[in-house]
Amino acid sequence: MLAALTLGWQAWSGTPYIRWNPAILAVAHFLTLGVLASAMLGAMMQILPVATHIHVLRPRITSAVVHACLTLGTLSLAIGFISVKAVFHTAAVVLLAAAFLLFLAAVAGGLWRDRRQRSPGSAEILVAVRLALAALATTIALGLFMAGLRGGVWSVGATPAGAWLHGLPDLHVLWGLAGWVGLLVIGISYQVIPIFQATEIYPKRITDILAPLVFLLLVVLTLSGAWQLSNSHAATLPQRLAGAALALCYLVYGLFTAWLLLTRKRPSPEPTTWFWHAAMASLVLAALVGLTRSGWPALAGHTQEMLLGTLLIPGFAVSAVNGMLYKIVPFLLWHNAQRRAPMALPFIPKVRQFISEPDAMRQFAAHLCALALLAAACFMPVLLLPAALALAASAGLLAWNILRALMLYTRTCRRIQETLAALPEQARQP
């Protein structure tokens, strides 16, 4: 919602719709840190124990501290971009460093402590998750360094080394989107798409090769300096080939996943299926834009950069996370309600009753509308205000759907308590 309101304000102010506009930098982090990081870090703490028998260290205190620091750090970073006040960047560095260091330590500690009890068949998901965590650490380190420069926490002085600085945002975005977000969605999808969407499983050829290959290409792009996208026409042929190969990897993954979804065993698509379709369509388009950048660098420009960011962040990543929320939230509420009742109670809602399909589809329609308008606004910035309004409607409907599910869960827990209180002592025992 904050991203939508900031985008609306930016459209109203008429300042240029380019990646360096402070309001756009704030929007980028409301979405990448505020939406993606909070959902993905939370989901990892839930999915890892179920999918791999690996438990994050001290989950209660870890999740509380990470949630608080991540939320306040994201707000501080965004206010820092818009107000250009160094104190907010400094606060963001402290809070976000605390959030990600604690999270990475708790997960790494769990991966090491439970390494011998990981579930069979979890290797492919764990390889992708570990690489995604390494990409996240790289993204965060670069982000904290840049925010520290803006906050005056440290400086590089007038050293010749400064010359490489101007390319850092590109490297930061490359590891953030093609590394962390891309690898985590790939890794998790190996399990959740076949399980929740009743599709065939991903072939071993893909699950063994794709994630390590993407990571290797990111390392090649980093070491060869090809990540300086803003002057990619200077990129040498090997660098452009590495960029094209990365785009091809995501094109293959996107097309293959789309095919799995179109040939799934359950005929009628459900809301999460539509969100996955939107995510894969955006990823395939982004990969094609990436290929044209590597093939015809002269075409690179603000419009193409904004289109790539729009297709990868709200298009691919937010669609995938939004869709998964409609699987994760009802399941967790149902699971926790069941755990509170030592016997079967008929009034406990089924998983499907926590968020109805029409409500989820209404939100999907608003999300799809926002995506189309955001993409079009890259070419016609006059469409930015309607795009911001559609994004706000989508955020509002998502919040309403989750709030109503939580209210149903709270009512159910109250009824379970009342029912148990009315039962004789020994009938309450599990």
Binding region for ligand HEM (CB under 6 A) = 19, 25, 28-29, 32-33, 37, 77, 92, 96, 100, 139-140, 143-144, 146-147, 150, 169-170, 172-173, 176-177, 180-181, 309
- State the minimum distance, in angstroms, from the CB of residue 138 to ligand HEM: 10
Beta carbons of 309 and 238 less than 8 angstroms apart: no
Beta carbons of 128 and 190 less than 8 angstroms apart: yes
Round to whole Å and give the CA distance between 383 and 100: 36
Structure tokens at 382: 């006059």
Unique residue bearing structure tokens 């930098």? 25
Q: Is 1 strand, coil or helix?
A: coil
- State the minimum distance, in angstroms, from the CB of residue 178 to ligand HEM: 9
157 burial level (CB within 10 Å; 0-12, 13-18, 19+): exposed
Helices (H), 16-85: 22-29, 38-52, 59-83
Residue whose CB is less far from ligand HEM, 211 or 360: 211
371 burial level (CB within 10 Å; 0-12, 13-18, 19+): buried
- Distance in Å from the first CA to the final CA of the chain: 43
CB within 8 A of 305, min separation 6: which ones?
Answer: 18, 19, 229
Structure tokens at 345: 């109670």
Residue whose CB is less far from ligand HEM, 243 or 330: 243
Residue whose CB is less far from ligand HEM, 146 or 245: 146
Residue whose CB is less far from ligand HEM, 305 or 330: 305
- State the minimum distance, in angstroms, from the CB of residue 215 to ligand HEM: 15
CB within 8 A of 46, min separation 6: which ones?
Answer: 328, 332
- State the minimum distance, in angstroms, from the CB of residue 76 to ligand HEM: 9
**Which residue has its beta carbon closest to ligand HEM?**
143
Beta carbons of 122 and 187 less than 8 angstroms apart: no
- State the minimum distance, in angstroms, from the CB of residue 359 to ligand HEM: 29
Q: How many CB atoms lie within 10 A of CB 120?
A: 6
Element (H, E) at 4: helix 2-13
- State the minimum distance, in angstroms, from the CB of residue 264 to ligand HEM: 29
Residue whose CB is less far from ligand HEM, 63 or 228: 228
Residue whose CB is less far from ligand HEM, 100 or 274: 100
Structure tokens at 224: 């060869």
Residue type, 424: P
Structure tokens at 206: 């893909």
Round to whole Å and give the CA distance between 206 and 100: 30
Residue whose CB is less far from ligand HEM, 36 or 51: 36
Beta carbons of 329 and 354 less than 8 angstroms apart: yes
- State the minimum distance, in angstroms, from the CB of residue 143 to ligand HEM: 3
Q: What region does 56 belong to: left with phi over 0, alpha with psi -120 to 50, or beta?
A: beta
Residue whose CB is less far from ligand HEM, 180 or 190: 180
- State the minimum distance, in angstroms, from the CB of residue 250 to ligand HEM: 15
Residue whose CB is less far from ligand HEM, 180 or 274: 180
84 burial level (CB within 10 Å; 0-12, 13-18, 19+): exposed
- State the minimum distance, in angstroms, from the CB of residue 286 to ligand HEM: 13
Residue whose CB is less far from ligand HEM, 297 or 349: 297
- State the minimum distance, in angstroms, from the CB of residue 108 to ligand HEM: 17
Structure tokens at 116: 């011998």
- State the minimum distance, in angstroms, from the CB of residue 219 to ligand HEM: 18
Residue whose CB is less far from ligand HEM, 140 or 260: 140
